[in-house]
Amino acid sequence: MRKAILALLGGAYLCFGLTLGALAWRSGAGVAAAASVALGAFAVMLSLHSLIARGIEGAALKGEVSRLREAHRLLADDLEKTQGTLQNLGQTVQVEAAERTEALTSEVRMLEDLVARMGENMDTQLAAPKPGGTVVSRQSQALLHTVREALAENRVDLYLQPVVSLPQRRTVFYESFSRLRDDTGRVLMPAEYLAVAEPEGLVPAIDNLLLFRCVQIVRRLAKTDRKIGIFCNISLASLSDESFFPQFLDFLDQNRDLAGSLIFELGQPAFKERGAVEARNMAKLADLGFRFSLDKVTDLDLDFADLGRTDVKFVKIAAGVLLEQLLEVEGRMALKSMRDLQAADFAALTRRYGVEVIAEKVEAERQVIDVLELDIAYGQGHLFGEPRAIREAVLAEADPPAEFMRSTLRRQAAGGGRR
């Protein structure tokens, strides 16, 4: 387009020159003079065109430079604002990091204090003579020594087993278990070590260490936005411990955000045996928003109103126990302990009181079908996943300082146990 315009202008300038030459020739000038006039006029027009074009281009260039300078100024202003924003953001991040560090330091200090008190309490328990002066066999002495050493050397592993929704089988909770290891790495099952740990007052130490680790694992899951709850066993001894429990309650009071993820679990026999102190301390935990669960349930004649008052939100019943309770009454399936209620309505009844039934120890697919017919929403058992040990690297982050417990247990171990 630009070339066409230039060609037309050139033609116009040439015509103008020829016109002036023709006028000069008609005025009596010779041919040579007329041609000179024509060429001169053409040259003048071209010069004028060049001057005008350069002037226009210069003005356009000045305008472009002015616009570039304005854009540069705006960019410099934006960069200055961005730099200021980044500086403020950096200061905010530093402040938040300092606050998180301070919160973590406070949490660790609280755990240190709790473990210190736990060590002192255990020292008292181990030093106290048992009534009757029972004689411990060499085998029991050796096992007791192994348990003490496992606690002293922090060879207490945390295992997690999934609790799944039915029928989707999606993991919604985990149950935590503790396992002890001897110096060779052999895992000691609870049935093996509890027989000697309970008389010596070591079970609270194991339970308390499990509680600490559950808290830290919940924290770790929260960092990855995994909203999964953990069932953590708590013993009556921990609930009634006048030194440990107030400190632990204070710790949970400062960390109420754990309430939605940490569920304290008691066996049905322990729940029935709880006294006024334990019931009062359970109520204090409930006031902070924490929930409870009953496992090892064998008696289905439950006081649902009492469960509701004590914030028990889950009841775990072995699949085998549930199916053994089934019987036919007047052409319909009922439960032996609740013959007036259809078996399929049992879970609906518990939900009216805010209690969910979890079928535990599910080992076979046939049991899943039977459990679903009872309208039970959750299942747990080896069929859905066996308890698996948490990696040592993760446990290292969840280990509370245990120097007090270690020194206490070593002194007791060196004494060879009580007779």
- Interval 232-249: pLDDT, tens: 988 888 888 887 788 888
> What is the bridge-based pairing of β-strands 262-267 and 187-188?
unpaired
- Quote the pLDDT of residue 11: 66
| pLDDT tier, 353 (very low <50, low <70, confident <90, very high otherwise) | very high
389 and 271 assigned to the same domain? yes
Task: List the domain range (segments joined by +) for residue 346.
Answer: 157-401
Q: Which structure tokens are listed for 197?
A: 């740990």
- Quote the pLDDT of residue 98: 58
283 and 181 assigned to the same domain? yes
87 and 189 assigned to the same domain? no
88 and 167 assigned to the same domain? no
320 and 192 assigned to the same domain? yes
Residue 412 domain flag: no
18 and 165 assigned to the same domain? no
Q: Which structure tokens are listed for 133?
A: 């002066």
Mean pLDDT of 293-302: 91
86 and 161 assigned to the same domain? no
Residue 253 domain flag: yes
Greatest mean pLDDT among 43-47, 203-207, 237-241, 287-291: 287-291
DSSP state of 296: E
Decide if pLDDT at 131 tops 60.
Answer: no
309 and 372 assigned to the same domain? yes
Higher pLDDT, residue 50 or 158: 158
325 and 250 assigned to the same domain? yes
- Quote the pLDDT of residue 132: 45
Residue 37 domain flag: yes
Residue 360 host element (H or E):
strand 356-360
Q: Which residue has the tokens 């007779």?
A: 419
Residue 88 domain flag: yes
- Please state, rounded to an integer, the average pLDDT across all residues of the chain: 76
Q: Which structure tokens are listed for 262?
A: 């940490």
Task: Compute the distance between CA of residue 48 and CA of residue 108 in angstroms, rounded to an integer.
Answer: 88
% of the chain surpassing 90 pLDDT: 26
181 and 255 assigned to the same domain? yes
Q: How many domains does the chain have?
A: 2
263 and 165 assigned to the same domain? yes
Burial of 277 from C-beta contacts in 10 A (0-12 / 13-18 / 19+): middle
> What is the bridge-based pairing of β-strands 229-233 and 171-181?
parallel
95 and 165 assigned to the same domain? no
CA R_g for the chain? 43
CB atoms within 10 A of CB 128: 10
Mean pLDDT of 91-120: 55
Greatest mean pLDDT among 87-91, 259-263, 393-397: 259-263
CATH of the domain at 275: 3.20.20.450
Residue 95 domain flag: yes
Task: Compute the distance between CA of residue 250 and CA of residue 110 in angstroms, rounded to an integer.
Answer: 9
Residue 127 domain flag: no
Residue 113 domain flag: no
Residue 417 domain flag: no
| pLDDT tier, 143 (very low <50, low <70, confident <90, very high otherwise) | confident
